[in-house]
Amino acid sequence: MTDTSISTEGATVPEIAAMAAIIKPAESKGGFRWYAIQTLSNMEGKVKKYMDKFIEVEEMAEFFAPPPGRPLSDRVLMPCETVQEVKNGKKTTKIRKLYPNYMFLQMRLYDEGGKLLQKPWYFVNSVQGVINFIGGTEPISLKPTEMERILKQVEEAEGKPVPKIVYNPGESVKITDGPFKTTTGIVESVDNERGKLEVSVSIFGRFTPVELEFWQVERSTE
């Protein structure tokens, strides 16, 4: 049987759509496989909330399944991470989507003869905010290795806030606030927990370490 699954790694939405246009699903697609759907911008949360509820209401549960060991809510997977930022000494967190405009569904979308099951296909496409499956009227499953990578990202992101911007020692940055504004310096150390950097700047011909908050610098383009 020809392998017609696709990989989204490193691909843009148009590139994935182009792949979907030329690759046909295998003759037999029976069983549960992962599929990607494209949504309108900033509609991912509403799509997930609706589907989480109406999979049960519309008696669609037989067509959807969560990953092994994951809750039922992961039948409709919206990979996210918690982003942490420290500004003026105040720590804030927000949720950031890892794949904006994409969601992932583990579904039984074809019968054993390779025929598209219209009921679940129409259910997904009727949700407000959903543009279509990747593959359109012939949805293409994602490669198992691709989903393993995505599920690993989800697992690693759980309960582990990450800095909004990550700086590394030795990196060149431009100071955008304070007495050293417009000065370029080198990052000497990073404290992600406090959201602070120690930056070495040249003052009167001598390099001096200055402590700054993340928001007070930006990556140098020089």
- H/E stretch holding 121 reads helix 118-125
What global pTM score does this model have? 0.67
Give the range of the structural domain holding residue 206, as residue numbers without chain letter: 172-219
Q: How far apart are CA 129 and CA 120, in angstroms?
A: 16
| 158 and 179 both lie in a single domain | no
The pLDDT value given to residue 18: 46
| 70 and 19 both lie in a single domain | yes
The pLDDT value given to residue 29: 66
More confident residue, 101 or 14: 101
More confident residue, 196 or 48: 48
If pLDDT is split at 50, 70 and 90, which confidence band does 91 have? confident
| 25 and 114 both lie in a single domain | yes
- CATH assignment of the domain containing 193: 2.30.30.30
| 193 and 94 both lie in a single domain | no
| 59 and 96 both lie in a single domain | yes
Residue range 169-198: mean pLDDT, rounded: 88
Flag whether 132 is in a domain.
yes
Top mean-pLDDT range of 43-47, 178-182, 206-210? 43-47
Flag whether 2 is in a domain.
no
| 68 and 141 both lie in a single domain | yes
* Angle formed at CA 63 by CA 58 and CA 69, multiple of 5 degrees: 110
- CATH assignment of the domain containing 18: 3.30.70.940
Flag whether 6 is in a domain.
no
| 183 and 154 both lie in a single domain | no
| 150 and 179 both lie in a single domain | no
Residue with tokens 């720590």: 91
More confident residue, 26 or 142: 142
More confident residue, 197 or 1: 197
Share of the chain above pLDDT 70, in %: 84
How much is the mean pLDDT over the chain? 84
Flag whether 89 is in a domain.
yes
What contacts 214, CB < 8 A, 6 or more positions away? 85, 86, 87, 163, 164, 165, 167, 195, 196, 197
